[in-house]
Structure 1
Amino acid sequence: MSRSEENVRLSVGEAELTVDPGHGCRISSLRIGGAELLRQGERYGCFPMVPWCGRTGNGEFRNGDVLHRLPLNSPPHAIHGTGRDTSWQPASTAAELAEGRVAFYYDLADPWPYRGRVTQTFELTGEALTLGLAVETYGDSFPAQAGWHPWFRRTLDGAAAELSFDAAWQEERGADHLPTGRRVDPLPGPWDDCFGMPDGVDVKLTWPGRLELTVRSRSEWVVVYDEQDEAVCVEPQSGPPNGLNTAPRLVTPIDPLEMTTTWSWTRP
């Protein structure tokens, strides 16, 4: 493990992870056997989506009878939460760092209307990376979501990524890019779509002859985005896009929102 003024790096076996807590606590680099898996650039890597995932329709959601409005950072919607635009603070002991684990937190603040804390954890081994997100309230209950938006490189050492997954349904996407509420049989890609996996997210990316990566989560929701030439995104999340309105999950003083995902890999 090494730490710079901006980044924290973990290294276990052939796996090297770099986290940038000052820039949304995103993973800026994940290298396996020297090969970079994530698209590089300040908007890319892998960032947390919290306290909501994907688009919130027209930047509006209700908590009971109270209507809240969020900044329209992807007009006409609010997208991907506030965590990716926030500087996070360290929350790890020296012993945890030595064991390949690191944690960070930030306190919810404007433009999010409720007070609370978000914690993100990273645990690296030679064969897998496990990520965790927890959302707690400082008082009032509120709906929230949590998830990750990784930008996996489309090609790795000349090999193009192949996607494989078996979803129970696809959320029909309307012209406004929000789910219509209708579930349909999964359609062929390219996708910018949410899929349902009741037994848990299980998506495989294979760069033939180079590496096989499996993204798993106990959550049943995943967004797959592969409309760009440079990257493929597999986004496990605690609810569907616009879920603050359509599938609210309340964070209460006795029931925080907790979300995990594990990326495991094998090399030929």
Structure 2
Amino acid sequence: MSSEQSIRLAAGDVELTVHPTIGCRIGSLRIGGTEVLRQGERYGSFPMVPWCGRTRDGRFSNGGVPHRLPLNAPPHAIHGTGRDTAWRTARADESEAAFTYDLADPWPYTGRVTQTFELAEDSVTVRMGVETYGTSFPAQAGWHPWFLRNLGDGGEDVRIAFTPEWQEERGEDHLPTGKRITPLPGPWDDCFGMPDGVDVTLTWPGRLELIVRSPAEWVVVYDEQAEAVCVEPQSGPPNGLNTHPRLVTPIEPLEIATTWSWRRL
């Protein structure tokens, strides 16, 4: 069942619910009746766009033009504006849907963001694109899923497995210092480099294995909360508008994709 507030996709016994009016986030992913995402308006899995993670002091420049973003995580600006925006439903059928929104204040440039979902019985693929209506600008895109640490019924907590090539050293301000270090053991609120593509396996022993993959080279892993763990593929590191700018131009949009695939154990 779908409404303006929620779009429900289904494939076999898998159900995915998207809430376009609260940031076009995935509100629920149920696999064989088992919910795998933390519930609540701030959770599920939300898009990070047109920047990911923290932007230092909310400041960035496009060439020589400085800009200031609202400090929604003082002293920084965090996770973009897409998660706080009502998106339009462009199309939706039984297992696929597409949504858009137009970039506007407080983002200083005009453009369009598109997000699509394709659900299968053993996977979901999400794609996002950022295009400009004229002026080129730096941007980032990615996703911030909140996977439940425990699926209930007395099962064990999730285990995280991945092999990054490096870890971005994190300063006291939670931003990368610019130094790449040998990956450290968790718990994490850290960005890692995976130049061959993001590949992180979440295993709930005896229940479910879910693999997060993306052609993107960066992933933030956050597991400091008791309720959930986050595996966040993104097109650049935190503060990347300043340190690793990727220009969206009239002939080259920013495009990113992620696939979650699973198998029952």
Indicate the TM-score class for this superposition, using the shorter chain for normalisation.
over 0.9
Q: Mind listing any 5+ residue stretches in structure 1 that lack a counterpart? A: none
Q: Mind listing any 5+ residue stretches in structure 2 that lack a counterpart? A: none
Q: What's the secondary structure of 2:187's corresponding residue?
A: coil
The alpha-carbon deviation at position 117 of structure 1 amounts to 0.2
Determine whether 1:147 maps to 2:142: yes
**Which of 109, 114, 118 pairs up with 1:119?**
114
The alpha-carbon deviation at position 261 of structure 1 amounts to 0.2
Determine whether 1:260 maps to 2:247: no
Conserved? CA contact 2:116–2:126, under 8 Å: yes
**Which of 156, 160, 163 pairs up with 2:157?**
160
| Alpha-carbon distance in structure 2 between the residues aligned to 1:174 and 1:57 | 12
Matches for 1:116-265 after TM superposition, within 5 Å: 116-157=111-152, 158-265=155-262
Q: Which residue of 2 aligns with 1:81?
A: 80
Q: What's the secondary structure of 2:135's corresponding residue?
A: coil
The alpha-carbon deviation at position 5 of structure 1 amounts to 3.2
The alpha-carbon deviation at position 156 of structure 1 amounts to 1.1
**What number of residue pairs does the alignment pair up?**
263
| Alpha-carbon distance in structure 2 between the residues aligned to 1:150 and 1:3 | 22
Q: Which residue of 1 aligns with 2:71?
A: 72
Q: What's the secondary structure of 1:22's corresponding residue?
A: helix
Q: Which range is displaced more, 142-151 or 153-162?
A: 153-162
Determine whether 1:62 maps to 2:57: no
Matches for 1:87-98 after TM superposition, within 5 Å: 87-92=86-91, 97-98=93-94
Percent of pairs with identical residues: 73
Residues 185-220 of structure 1 show CA distances to partners (whole Å, capped at 9, x for unaligned) of 000000000000010000000000000000000011
Residues 87-128 of structure 1 show CA distances to partners (whole Å, capped at 9, x for unaligned) of 000111xxx614x11000000000000000000000000000
| Alpha-carbon distance in structure 1 between the residues aligned to 2:29 and 2:179 | 36
**Which of 78, 82, 104 pairs up with 2:99?**
104
Q: Which residue of 2 aligns with 1:40?
A: 39
The alpha-carbon deviation at position 159 of structure 1 amounts to 2.3
Conserved? CA contact 2:4–2:21, under 8 Å: no
| Alpha-carbon distance in structure 2 between the residues aligned to 1:191 and 1:159 | 20
Q: What's the secondary structure of 2:200's corresponding residue?
A: strand
Q: What's the secondary structure of 1:233's corresponding residue?
A: strand
1:163 maps to amino acid: I
The alpha-carbon deviation at position 39 of structure 1 amounts to 0.3
| Alpha-carbon distance in structure 2 between the residues aligned to 1:58 and 1:5 | 36
Q: Which runs of 4+ in 1 moved over 4 A?
A: none
2:142 maps to amino acid: G
| Alpha-carbon distance in structure 1 between the residues aligned to 2:14 and 2:182 | 37
- When the two structures are superposed, what TM-score results if normalisation uses the length of structure 1? 0.97
1:112 maps to amino acid: W
| Alpha-carbon distance in structure 2 between the residues aligned to 1:159 and 1:25 | 31
The alpha-carbon deviation at position 14 of structure 1 amounts to 1.7
Q: Which residue of 2 aligns with 1:21?
A: 20
| Alpha-carbon distance in structure 1 between the residues aligned to 2:149 and 2:189 | 15
CA RMSD of aligned residues (A): 0.7
